[in-house]
Each structure stands twice: as C-alpha cells, then as structure tokens.
Amino acid sequence: MYALKVEQLEIGDVKKVTPARFGDSRGYFSEVFKEFWFRTNVADVSFVQDNESLSAQRGTVRGLHFQLPPFAQGKLVRCLRGALLDVAVDIRHGSPTYGKWVSAELSPENGSQLWVPAGFAHGFVTLQPDTIISYKVTAPYSAEHDRGVRWNDAEIGIEWPQMDGYVLSDKDNNQPLLSELPTYFQFS
C-alpha cells in the first residue's frame, strides 16, 4: 500500500507531501513518488524532467525563480542530503494570496517534499553545507522564459533563517521586486 501524508499549507495550491517509511534493522524503504496517486491527491500534472543541485555552503540562496508560459513549471522538491528551507511565493495576479509565501523545511531525515505549482516563484536557503536537492518539473528549462523575483523583497517579507551571511549568484541578487513584475500569471 502506498502511504503518504499530504499537508495543506496556508496557500492551498502548495502542498507538503511526506511519504511513509517502512524500516527495519537495515534501514528503510519508501515510495517517494507514484504518478497515479500524485495526480489523484496532489495535482493532475505530468513531469518531464528531474533536476538536482548541490549547494556547498550553508546559507546558499537559490531563487526566487519561475518560468513563463508555455514553459511554466510546477516543481516537486525534496532534499537528498543536508537540509533546506524551501519557499513558494504566489505571483498569480488576482489571487487572494498574491505576494504571500509559505515554506517547509526539507531534509533526508523528515523525507518531506514540497509541491510548488506553476504561478509561484520558488527558492530555498540551505541550512547545512553540501545540501543536495532533487526536483521533478512539469516543463523543461527554457532560458528565454526564465524569470525571478528578489529573494529579500520587503513587500513579500520572507522570514529567512538568520545566517552569518548568504551566498547568492549575481542573477539572484539582482532580480526585480514583486512590484516591478508584469502580470505573468492570472489567478483563475
């Protein structure tokens, strides 16, 4: 039997999914993704690509990223090593939660995954060095459709964990503010 716990977060379309683990003296076994179950219980989407990233330093921020239609991506994110705070920001104009954010701590120990649908900006900060994340996406990467919003935009007000410093790419450090974004996504 496939056993998962789905937790509805404060923004209803973003969900935390935690697969059951069946353990014994050798370790554990867990079914981390099952297409039919996911389509029925979380989102009726197809995944086309799996991505993986390593962040060597604690305090590495990646994001907040999204892609424009027709390459808008939904992401199912999980942590394979280390730990991270994963964040989703609603950027769907007309949404009652526009500009609001939710987060979940992901680690191999808790086994949780975060479903971030299209229409949300996604990012994370690593809580441990050498953190590896893996995520499934619903559309391939397209540099032409790649966009972002500033990770520390005061209007969004993400409560990032306190760090001695944050490590960012120049691209992520210079993304536009939420107030500067055109209407890329419309809430329906």
Mean pLDDT of all residues belonging to the chain: 96
Confidence at 31, pLDDT banded by 50, 70, 90: confident
Which active-site residues does the annotation give? 65, 135
- Residue in this structure with the two tokens 């297409």, named with its chain if needed: 35
pLDDT score, position 21? 87
d(CA 63, CA 153): 12
The predicted-structure confidence for 39-55, as pLDDT tens digits, reads as follows 999 999 999 999 999 99
Residue 27 gets the label, from left (phi > 0), alpha (psi -120 to 50) or beta, of left
Confidence at 188, pLDDT banded by 50, 70, 90: confident
- Residues near 99 by beta carbon (within 8 Å), at least 6 away in sequence: 89, 90, 91, 155, 156, 178
Burial category of 120 from C-beta neighbours within 10 Å (exposed 0-12, middle 13-18, buried 19 and up): buried
The predicted-structure confidence for 64-81, as pLDDT tens digits, reads as follows 999 999 999 999 999 999
pLDDT score, position 4? 78
Provide the greatest CA pair distance for the chain.
Answer: 54
Residue 124: what are its φ and ψ, rounded to 5°?
-155, 165
With a cut of 60, say whether residue 1 has pLDDT above it. Answer: no
Rg (CA), the chain: 16
